Amino acid sequence: MSPEKSANNQLESRNQEAKKEPHRSVDRLRIDATTYGSTIVLVVGIIITAIFQPVFLTVSNIANVLSQIAVLGILTMAQTIVLISGGIDLSVGSNVALSGVAAGLLFMHGVPLWIDCIVALGCATIIGVINGLLIAQNRAHPFIITLGMLTLLEGIAELITGGSPVNDMGALATTLGGTIFFGIPTAVVLLFVIVVLTALFLARTPLGRAAYAIGGNEEASYLSGIPIKRTKIYIYTLAGVIAGIAALTLSGILNAAEANIGTGLELQSIAAAVIGGTPLIGGRGGAWRSLQGVLLLGVVSNSLNLMSVGANYQNIALGIIVLIAVMVQKNR
């Protein structure tokens, strides 16, 4: 080929690339509805509720909503980390119950509160370690392992309490059940601290990045040198620690602990994470996305309460939201 023809071909190729550039710019500006869907629905829901129920935007009601979702939000951070790694933890609710009961029973017998808190966190952490070891060493599906752990922990909590609630959590209720500066509930401040720490963990630490890698492709992660077993143990251990924090927060807010106090929290935390954009298949998602899911559940529930909608209809509405979120994630 002559130099003249070669130059002409290169010029023609560049012209074709230039023609494609506007289309590429448009693609970059296109909004992915599956990524920002929960944000859009949340904003629209707030606007509609504020129009029909002006009391919704009052400071007291907003504080009430945030207080109600604080424990679920903390627990959803634990679930988010596990889901991103391609796992699932059905035992977080019963972990909250058993850890809270352990702290409450010790407090009843005169043990100092700071020791009670350490015991609750230690109990929740040990449960996380056991989950991680069983899942990593036996290569069993996390669903089955954590389902069995859920049943086991519920039984232990019922056994040690005799089915009776543990009342009066003392200073724990005063601290976590009260408010901090400017009347902001302490539990809400703790929620946002946990969310920020979770976001930093996932984005800035090697273990957080390894969780994304394993959730995206475990085999490729193994071939690239990521220690799969050790990473899974660390992830479930961290989920246990966060569950312990949620247990202390819930016990402080309610000023009580009982064996069935965490019933349903495991499914709600999964639903909140999925609604926010953290899929069940792993490899994607994040703390802020999951927080949006928690906020959406809280806003919907509060809106229906303000409209005097019955509990049964509320469950129907929340169920529909979860189903839509799952289908959107599947399509993505």
Query: Could you state, in order of their start, the residue ranges of all structural domains in the chain?
Result: 1-30, 33-331
pLDDT value, residue 18 = 47
Q: How far is CA 30 from the centre of its chain?
A: 28
pLDDT value, residue 3 = 46
The label of the residue with tokens 């064996």 reads 259
- 123-152 confidence digits (pLDDT tens): 999 999 999 999 998 777 899 999 999 999
Second CATH level (architecture) for the domain 33-331: Orthogonal Bundle (1.10)
- For 8-35, b where at least 16 C-beta lie within 10 A, e where not — what string? eeeeeeeeeeeeeeeeeeeeeeeeeeee
DSSP letters, 271-327, are HHHHHHT--TTSS---HHHHHHHHHHHHHHHHHHHHTT--HHHHHHHHHHHHHHHHH
- 47-80 confidence digits (pLDDT tens): 888 888 888 888 888 888 888 899 999 999 999 9
pLDDT value, residue 331 = 62
Tell me the three-class secondary structure of 1-12, residue by residue.
Answer: CCHHHHHHHHHH
pLDDT value, residue 27 = 41
pLDDT value, residue 25 = 39
pLDDT value, residue 311 = 76
pLDDT value, residue 241 = 96
Structural contact between residues 278 and 284, judged by C-beta atoms closer than 8 angstroms: yes
pLDDT value, residue 29 = 39
Write out residues in the chain with pLDDT < 50, as ranges: 3-8, 10-11, 17-31
pLDDT value, residue 9 = 52
pLDDT value, residue 246 = 95
DSSP letters, 21-88, are HHHHHHHHH---HHHHHHHHHHHHHHHHHHHH-GGGGSHHHHHHHHHHHHHHHHHHHHHHHHHHTT--
pLDDT value, residue 245 = 95
